[in-house]
Structure 1
Amino acid sequence: MLSGFHHPASHSLAGLRHICVSAAVTGFVILNLLASYYSPQVRILLTGSVRQTFQVYLFDNGYTETNSQYYTAHTVRDPGAPDTLELTLPIHERFRLDFLGDGTVAFLGRLMIVTRTGLRQVSATYRFDPAFLTTHGLRRTSQGALAFVAADDPYVDVPLRALPLESVSTAYSLCPVLYVLGPILFALFLYRIRRDLAAHRFLVLGMLCVCIFLSFLALTLPYNHGPDEESHIFSGQWYLTHLAPPSIASPVFYDAYWGWNYLVGSPDLTYWLTFKLAHSIEMLRPMDLYRAARIAQIVVLFGAFLLVLRFTRVHVAWAFLLSAVLVPQIVYTVTYVNGDALSYFLSIAALGILLAPKDLDSRVAIPVSLFVLCNTKTNYLVLLPVALYILYRQYGFKYWPYVVGGLAIGSYRRVFTLLDEHLVGRSFLQNELLHCSAPVRDRLLSGRLDYATIITPAFYETSLKSLYAKFGYMTFSLPWYFYVVGASLAILLILANDRRERILIAVVFVMNLGMSEYFSMSIFYEPQGRYLFPTVVVLVLMSVRRIPVLKYLWYAIPTAFAVTAFWLRYLGSAS
């Protein structure tokens, strides 16, 4: 009787203890985020043949080795401009910047001090010319740069108070609000789904391990290792400083050959999510934008997985993990910045909510799912008919007002484009003609279609190989037996479905392949398997309900081998 009497109290104490620990951890995270954000910074821009790591001595009645630290500059890339290095340091009234190794350096003439209070950021720009500062071991070359050798102990002594002020600018940011509310909301969300996390801990740990592995690859693989990553970054960086999409008349990046920007006239939800989060990461710790954007993609991916675990049946969450385990190309696509990786996983989430909702009102689930599907990449629009088919099979016309509402809200981007074209007086095609190269312009104006693509075996071979595993710029292939494994896996998954589902998968595949063929016939797009990812979305979602998922996890071995082999190739070439 006594043990029974104390049992509820012990549970209450355990729950209270858990809440206190969670609150303490959340508070610690918030304090660290705010401390990083509000720390004043010194930023110096430079170029040249110089190591990216510098030794910085802080002045305290002289310079000593014990009062120094090493800092690494990150690369700043802008379209049409040479790469520059930005060195970010904690503010100190006087410091010495020491160069390591031999090389040449050219400073861009300015030093910036960034201070933040509340939502305000003040950037003070100072003139920075080593000719007016104390230097050692630096000699000016005929090109105006400063040459140095390590044996001469090269450095620049920087007294901040002595630098002439040139300008002061003020900007405002909501990042501090995100750093406070984000951890709180995330902690509350984890508390709400604690039973789901406990019940499916193997699944959650598996997905977490995949994301950690992907983060390692994303941080160590070189810039632009995947198809058109640079163009994706130059397009998406618009959202670092804007909320609304760009106009046709906006001063944005356009690819010099194709004449397009991924945000102009196209669905761009994945870019908005990626670069808004990348901006929040950069504000805490300045780094190469491509690294921040890659990590942002993976964070959004894991966040979508947790939302799926909360609001759908567990087999939809398994579809996330199996996608990363079964298909090396999907794993590889997550390691560089693009719109395909998140479009794939967001499409799984959107269709999964419709197929297997849990604790989510259909009047909310339907508009949200259709909004997401309307705003993923263009080749994923083939999934809209699939979504409508699923809704009809499950509900008939019961929720048609919410279907219409979801499609209407989801089409905001296309409405924006039509209004923008009208106001600017230039169509999307005219805009592309304005910015593209002569060969592409000739193809667009002629309207010719290269029908030989339909009977070209190389088109289908490249499409199917790169659907499973063909990395880089379609230059890294695997031995033939890997593709036998991929083909056998596809057959097993197709056979796991019934006749009606196989027909649906086949229809989506034909539509996807037709879109890819059209782009290749019209403007010579290279065939790539990622254009066929929507078919994999349907195949995995339909199959995961019927297969013993644990028995398929062994496919993680060839997947891990494939991406690791690619990573090792780049590691070897770098060394």
Structure 2
Amino acid sequence: MKFKYSVIFTALILSTVLTLWERQVSKHTGQSAHVYFEVVFLQSSANGIAQLFYDVGAGFREADSTTASVIKSSTPILYRFPLPEGDYRALRFDHINCEATVTLSNARILEVNGTVLQTISARQLVPSQQIQFSKVEGDSVQVTTVVGANDPSLNVSLVTPFSLKSDNKGSFTTPLKTGLVFLITFSICLFLFWHLPWQMNLGQKNFMPFFLTKYYLVTVLAFIVCLAVMSIYNKHPDEHSHFVAAQYYIDHWLPPAIGEPAVRNTYTMWGHSYLDTWGIEYFMAGKFAYLLKPIMEEFIATRLFNVSLFLILLIVFFHRAHHNAEELIPITLLLITPQLWYIFSYFNNDAFPLFLSLLVISEMTYKDSPLNQFLNATPALQFWKGGLLFGLLLGILLLSKQNYYTFLLFLGIWLIYKAVALETGSKLLPKVVINKNLIAKYSFIAFISFSVFTARFVLDVAINGESSLTSIFSMNILFGNSASKSKLLAYREEITMYPFRPSTAKTDLQATHYSTYLKDKGLKYGELFSKWHWHESTFKSFVGTYAHMSLFAPPFYYDLMAILLASFSFYILLCITLSKNRSLLFLMTVALLAIGGVIFISTYHSWVNAFQAQGRYLFPTTGILGLLLYQSRSYLHQWITNAFISCLFLMSVYSFLFIAIGRINL
């Protein structure tokens, strides 16, 4: 009887919280969440980035702005910039961030339903800085920047300041409708909590994903497919640049030579092409698109390549969890933020290394995996295919994004730790016993991994006569000036506009783009946070920012996600600390250092190279946390851990369904 009362009480409390949350959602998704600054680019002579600044009381600043990628085009393209709630005093439109001629027309502020709040004529777009020529013709204005421009801007001359406030239309504001929401949520909560005890022991301390976890993951797959097939082309970060790199491999089998005319269109205004990277995802996506080309558009096919990666993860983990749900633990981290779902819904180079890292973790945690069969075999070379497979996975990951090097280092330290045993020795130092059999097998795996890396290096030399290794993004930090004579940097110097040329940073630092080389321009490391708000932008884009970093959820969403993630992290660390398990404490320490390393590398890149406060640079932490969560499962309370994951999943569903899917094409 006491149990029944506790279930009813729990359902009552949760339904009350959900009802209040729904009211909060309705409050923050009124008119202002669906208001945009809209402008038509009749033509643009260059690729670039447009940025709208709005003064809502603190002047023009990065925190109060939104951006969109501008495509070089001779045909009209419509761009929209979302406007949050606030009292708008002024607008500034940085229509492009490079030397270019752009023709603008039909600027206006309107609601998503088409209601126009203000019409902005061509004469209201007034040149502000780095503009050489401006000509108004009818309802359009042609703007030509000065030579070498890196921050041209137009002041938007508003007829009058305006305010955007939520009108709460459509929210459950009447007592009757609020009562209906409460009744529905109470019934659902009561049903779930009444039946959950039959599916999982609420008093059990050992964490195991409960029966809804698989349904959660299948739901995520459905969301990913929806966004992949419904969103229009190039609505996502750098999708065009990623796509044209994959498109090259539809008809080719080998990487292009540096300077090959056929790939000139793959280079961005920054002088970078994803064909210069060593990852194999572009080759695989290109061949995948080749197979699907007869039945669908090529860009949709490349998106479905990333969708297939998520599907493969589900198949592998579901198969391995068939008899033991513990094997789902590493992949449950995909449920805690919709940004992880987002990268599988369009083609990019973030999904593939994440996919590899989770497969690697599964190989380490699943006791019957090919890797563990190889490591546990008594004859050294029995089940050698397991070592070969694991070495190939690590080698391919080594070719992928460099921010996963910290993840690989973390794995290496943990694997070596498992091969070393500490026994009672002298009074001062313990006796170290090394498992030579494991070390030999680790050496075999390392040999396979570096063989993959070496093969790619040799291929690069065979095609170009040298390796572009020291020229690839940020690698010159490690190798210094040796990269300055490479063919790749010479080609970038030739094709890139002046503000983005590598030499400009050395000869004319102030002419470089405003967001690059901040350290050299005198910005202190701490000012990344106090002035540039690196942590705010990174966190938002880690838990749900879509389109070209311009589609946000209401502020309450980020506040709740921060509270939930901080509480969940604290709970896990507390349980591990209280366990007093030496091995687990060591793993936690190494994991925290690795996570700190991932964060520091991201901040350092923003400080030294180009400011890019994006949550995707923190995705290597997913595999790190997946292994930590799995190893600490015996010390985590089942109900509490599943409750945290479920709450984060529900918040993520709200963001992905109503913000990403609901507004991506607006």
| Among candidates 558, 563, 566, match of residue 659 of structure 2 | 566
Q: Deviations over 1:342-376 (max 9, x none)?
A: 22122111233134452413423431232232132
The code of the aligned residue for 1:405 comes to: I
SS at match of 1:273: helix
- Matched residue, 1:472: 547
CA distance, structure 1, for counterparts of residue 251 and residue 458 of structure 2 = 22
Matched, 1:450 2:518: yes
- The verdict on how the C-alpha distance between 1:402 and 1:523 changes in structure 2, with shifts beyond 3 A counting, is closer
- The verdict on how the C-alpha distance between 1:530 and 1:441 changes in structure 2, with shifts beyond 3 A counting, is same
Identity of aligned residues (%): 19
Deviation at 1:464, TM superposition (A): 2.5
CA distance, structure 2, for counterparts of residue 202 and residue 422 of structure 1 = 55
| Among candidates 580, 587, 590, match of residue 501 of structure 1 | 587
Kept after mapping to 2: 8 A contact 1:233/1:337: yes
The structure whose RCO (Cα within 8 Å, separation 6+) is larger is 2
Kept after mapping to 2: 8 A contact 1:325/1:559: yes
| Among candidates 396, 417, 436, match of residue 496 of structure 2 | 436
Q: Aligned residues, how many?
A: 378
The code of the aligned residue for 2:282 comes to: Y
Matched, 1:269 2:280: yes
Q: Deviations over 1:186-221 (max 9, x none)?
A: xxxxxxxxxxxxx99965554333212210121112
- The verdict on how the C-alpha distance between 1:268 and 1:357 changes in structure 2, with shifts beyond 3 A counting, is farther
| Among candidates 567, 575, 582, match of residue 488 of structure 1 | 567
Q: Deviations over 1:53-99 (max 9, x none)?
A: xxxxxxxxxxxxxxxxxxxxxxxxxx967789xxxxxxxxxxxxxxx
Deviation at 1:385, TM superposition (A): 1.2
- Matched residue, 2:410: 386
SS at match of 2:440: coil
Deviation at 1:530, TM superposition (A): 0.4
| Among candidates 309, 319, 326, match of residue 330 of structure 2 | 319
- Matched residue, 1:377: 401
Kept after mapping to 2: 8 A contact 1:453/1:520: no
CA distance, structure 2, for counterparts of residue 200 and residue 217 of structure 1 = 27
SS at match of 2:525: helix
| Among candidates 368, 373, 387, match of residue 358 of structure 1 | 368
Structure 2 matches for 1:146-225, cutoff 5 A?
204-225=214-235
- The verdict on how the C-alpha distance between 1:301 and 1:82 changes in structure 2, with shifts beyond 3 A counting, is farther
SS at match of 1:337: coil
Deviation at 1:391, TM superposition (A): 2.8
Kept after mapping to 1: 8 A contact 2:598/2:621: yes
Kept after mapping to 2: 8 A contact 1:354/1:387: no
Which has the larger displacement, 453-462 or 419-428? Answer: 419-428
- The verdict on how the C-alpha distance between 1:323 and 1:453 changes in structure 2, with shifts beyond 3 A counting, is farther
| Among candidates 233, 254, 259, match of residue 243 of structure 2 | 233
CA distance, structure 2, for counterparts of residue 314 and residue 274 of structure 1 = 32
- Matched residue, 2:291: 280
CA distance, structure 2, for counterparts of residue 476 and residue 453 of structure 1 = 30
Kept after mapping to 1: 8 A contact 2:396/2:452: no
| Among candidates 330, 338, 359, match of residue 328 of structure 1 | 338
SS at match of 1:397: helix
The code of the aligned residue for 2:394 comes to: L
| Among candidates 517, 525, 536, match of residue 461 of structure 1 | 536
- Matched residue, 2:266: 254
Deviation at 1:469, TM superposition (A): 2.3
- Matched residue, 2:11: none
Deviation at 1:225, TM superposition (A): 2.2
Name stretches of at least 5 consecutive residues in structure 2 with no aligned partner. 1-70, 77-208, 375-385, 420-437, 468-484, 510-516, 577-583
Deviation at 1:231, TM superposition (A): 0.9
| Among candidates 457, 463, 471, match of residue 414 of structure 1 | 457
- The verdict on how the C-alpha distance between 1:372 and 1:423 changes in structure 2, with shifts beyond 3 A counting, is closer
Name stretches of at least 5 consecutive residues in structure 1 with no aligned partner. 1-78, 85-198
Which has the larger displacement, 328-337 or 206-215? Answer: 206-215
Structure 2 matches for 1:19-38, cutoff 5 A?
none
SS at match of 2:620: helix
Kept after mapping to 1: 8 A contact 2:309/2:355: no
CA distance, structure 2, for counterparts of residue 302 and residue 244 of structure 1 = 28
| Among candidates 598, 602, 605, match of residue 519 of structure 1 | 605
Matched, 1:403 2:446: yes
TM-score by structure 1 length?
0.59
TM-score by structure 2 length?
0.51
Deviation at 1:226, TM superposition (A): 1.9
The code of the aligned residue for 1:474 comes to: M
CA distance, structure 2, for counterparts of residue 315 and residue 453 of structure 1 = 45
SS at match of 2:273: coil
Matched, 1:345 2:376: no
- Matched residue, 1:48: none
CA distance, structure 2, for counterparts of residue 476 and residue 347 of structure 1 = 28
Deviation at 1:500, TM superposition (A): 1.9
RMSD: 3.2
CA distance, structure 1, for counterparts of residue 72 and residue 653 of structure 2 = 37
CA distance, structure 2, for counterparts of residue 246 and residue 496 of structure 1 = 52
- The verdict on how the C-alpha distance between 1:317 and 1:481 changes in structure 2, with shifts beyond 3 A counting, is closer
**Higher share of residues assigned helix:** 1
Kept after mapping to 2: 8 A contact 1:275/1:293: yes
- Matched residue, 2:380: none
CA distance, structure 1, for counterparts of residue 75 and residue 317 of structure 2 = 40
SS at match of 2:249: helix
Deviation at 1:432, TM superposition (A): 2.7
CA distance, structure 2, for counterparts of residue 429 and residue 81 of structure 1 = 27
Kept after mapping to 1: 8 A contact 2:306/2:344: yes
Deviation at 1:466, TM superposition (A): 1.8
| Among candidates 380, 387, 392, match of residue 368 of structure 1 | 392
Kept after mapping to 2: 8 A contact 1:462/1:528: yes
SS at match of 2:274: coil
Kept after mapping to 1: 8 A contact 2:541/2:616: yes
- Matched residue, 1:307: 316
CA distance, structure 2, for counterparts of residue 365 and residue 496 of structure 1 = 34
The code of the aligned residue for 2:292 comes to: I
Deviation at 1:429, TM superposition (A): 2.4
CA distance, structure 2, for counterparts of residue 489 and residue 477 of structure 1 = 23
Q: Deviations over 1:249-305 (max 9, x none)?
A: 4321333311111121x232222333322222223x132x22221122111221243
- Matched residue, 1:163: none
Q: Deviations over 1:445-503 (max 9, x none)?
A: 52974232621211122223322223232223332333323333333344454432232
CA distance, structure 2, for counterparts of residue 333 and residue 564 of structure 1 = 15
Deviation at 1:228, TM superposition (A): 0.9
- Matched residue, 1:90: none
- The verdict on how the C-alpha distance between 1:427 and 1:505 changes in structure 2, with shifts beyond 3 A counting, is farther
Deviation at 1:340, TM superposition (A): 0.5
SS at match of 1:398: helix
- The verdict on how the C-alpha distance between 1:309 and 1:550 changes in structure 2, with shifts beyond 3 A counting, is same
CA distance, structure 2, for counterparts of residue 460 and residue 492 of structure 1 = 22
CA distance, structure 1, for counterparts of residue 327 and residue 493 of structure 2 = 43
CA distance, structure 2, for counterparts of residue 305 and residue 407 of structure 1 = 29
- The verdict on how the C-alpha distance between 1:487 and 1:429 changes in structure 2, with shifts beyond 3 A counting, is farther
- Matched residue, 1:7: none
Deviation at 1:558, TM superposition (A): 0.3
CA distance, structure 2, for counterparts of residue 496 and residue 474 of structure 1 = 36
- The verdict on how the C-alpha distance between 1:490 and 1:420 changes in structure 2, with shifts beyond 3 A counting, is farther
Kept after mapping to 1: 8 A contact 2:392/2:452: no
CA distance, structure 2, for counterparts of residue 83 and residue 337 of structure 1 = 25
